[in-house]
Structure 1
Amino acid sequence: MRLPLFILLCLTIVLSSCSEYQRVLRKDDMGKKFALADSLYKIGKYKKGLKLMEQIVPSYRGKPQGEKLMFIYSNTYYNLEDYVLAGYQFERFTQAYPQSDSVEVASFKSARSFYELSPRSALDQRDTYKALEKLQEFINRYPNSEKRVEANTLVAELREKLETKEYNTAKQYLHIEDYKAAIGAFDNFITDNPGSHYRKDAFYGRYVAAYKLAINSIPNLVQERLITAKGYYSNFIKYYKDTDLAPEALEIYQDIESRIVPTETKPNS
């Protein structure tokens, strides 16, 4: 069966292209490697282009073409979603070419790479803190950048992730009945996150932890800790008396009141 002429032509072009790529890849002609890598980059053939770039990047450091090569090399990793190497290479680019017209884009993509590496809130958040640092550096360095709004959105998202992590840690202490740790964690959360949407739950969680600590204490500590819990109720109700948690908070408060032993009044002498 004879293949149509068009298909044969396409196959010929593809095979020729592949053989040309292999020839350039094997040869030591840096100029041809650069030109082909640039062409492949422009048409989105990032994996093939990367193999060529990896061979020639060391040879172009300090040369006029080095700036362009380092940028497309970094951006190739970014487009391939290898954010570890993209962040690292963009960072190197900004250090090597601080006066480049591409330095602002490189700075943003470096920060964005660290953002992409930030894990879900349940996991260790070191990469999240790194991403926040890099994004804030970008915002401070380029206050008028067209990427500023996006950068601020990413910062808000990462901060909310950290809030979630911190709040869930406090809640976990409450769940495992480590009430002292829960009170401390909720205290820190309330201080560190004044605008958080978890704030109401943190006030309530601290109150519940203080109540449970009190009623599970040894007898000579119960009264003192009930009074502390009562103070946390006052803190909660000051801000959240009309919320869905107020009825439950009141029930606990009534139990606290029933357990507090009135201080005897000494008779006048």
Structure 2
Amino acid sequence: MKRIIQLSLVALFFVLSSCASKYSKILSSKDNEYKYKMAEQYYKDKKYNHASELFQSLFPYLKGTPRHEEAFYKFAYSAFYLKDYESASLAFSTFTENFPNSSSVPEAFYMQGYCLYLNSPKVELDQSSTLHAISVLQSFINAYPKSPKAEEAKALIVKCNQKLEEKEYLAAKLYYDLGDFKSSHLYFDLLLSDYPNSSKSDLYMFKTVQSSYEYAKVSVPYLQEDRYKQAVDECGDFVAQYNNSKYVPSVQEIKKHSEEAINKIKNIINEQTKKASKS
């Protein structure tokens, strides 16, 4: 059995070497018509690495001919099928610039944005590609509002915005978890401003209330009363705006503790005033 496996591996090695040698000869060939024919065949056979490289090598030869457009189109899609979305997006963008009168421009325009969307990284990472995707997809919608792809582009923009919203939320939550309640209040407030129609808007406002309350607790004594009052005001605003939210009981609890803290501070001040007047 071991001997059979060894022989199979040797046979596979020679097959792969033969294929590599054949492709090298095609790539280095001076017969551009033959190279074009093989590029088309590789593309048809879904061997996109070879097809892409051959098409690219043929661009100078094909430039100015009707076949240049088709070759560039397939070159862009080769990158897409290889899941090299950054290169694919650039290729589709270049296609629209090089062939502005092509009937394939709307599709290439959409594919540029779609590839940027697919290239968007995890939410914790830099979202430049996501922002770029939104820009390109919105430009596509503006240019081709009646395109069959317009609704898909809108759906992708929604997903991109959800990712950006999640990133902002994680940043605000990090400040809260680190105990920087002043910053967390600011960031949750910005979330409310940036995404007023979010399904999580009550959560963001609740976190601003929590941040105000926690900030008051850790403040120096002479600033605590005003900061607890701010928390109480924000509790009232929350209940008025989100009276059916699941966070209402927690907000009412915060309001209760804040008012108790304010009364305690007032009692201490009154006691201190009385002592001062007697002395």
Fold shared, TM-score > 0.5 on shorter chain: yes
Q: For the residues of structure 1 that align with 2:95 and 2:136, how far apart are their CA atoms?
A: 15
RMSD of aligned C-alpha atoms? 2.1
Report the alpha carbon displacement of residue 54 of structure 1 after superposing the two structures with TM.
Answer: 2.6
Q: Deviations over 1:167-213 (max 9, x none)?
A: 12111111111111111111111111011122111000000000111
Larger helix proportion, structure 1 or 2? 2
- Aligned-partner SS, 2:66: coil
Match of 1:71 in 2: 73
Letter in 1 for 2:256: Q
* Paired residues of 1:163 and 1:193 also in contact (CA < 8 A): yes
Percent of residue pairs bearing the same amino acid type? 32
**1:236 lines up with 2:225 in the alignment:** no
Question: Aligned ranges for residues 249-268 of structure 1 at < 5 Å?
Answer: 249-261=251-263
Question: Aligned ranges for residues 1-269 of structure 1 at < 5 Å?
Answer: 18=19, 21-261=23-263
Q: For the residues of structure 1 that align with 2:102 and 2:198, how far apart are their CA atoms?
A: 39
- Aligned-partner SS, 1:187: helix
Q: For the residues of structure 2 that align with 1:125 and 1:206, how far apart are their CA atoms?
A: 25
Q: For the residues of structure 2 that align with 1:109 and 1:206, how far apart are their CA atoms?
A: 40
Q: For the residues of structure 1 that align with 2:252 and 2:24, how far apart are their CA atoms?
A: 76
- Aligned-partner SS, 1:81: coil
Report the alpha carbon displacement of residue 22 of structure 1 after superposing the two structures with TM.
Answer: 4.7
- Aligned-partner SS, 1:260: helix
Q: For the residues of structure 2 that align with 1:59 and 1:137, how far apart are their CA atoms?
A: 33
Could you list the runs of 5+ residues in structure 2 that have no partner in the other structure?
1-14, 270-279
Q: For the residues of structure 2 that align with 1:186 and 1:25, how far apart are their CA atoms?
A: 57
Report the alpha carbon displacement of residue 20 of structure 1 after superposing the two structures with TM.
Answer: 6.1
Report the alpha carbon displacement of residue 21 of structure 1 after superposing the two structures with TM.
Answer: 4.7
TM-score normalized by structure 2? Answer: 0.84
Match of 1:3 in 2: none
Q: For the residues of structure 1 that align with 2:159 and 2:140, how far apart are their CA atoms?
A: 16
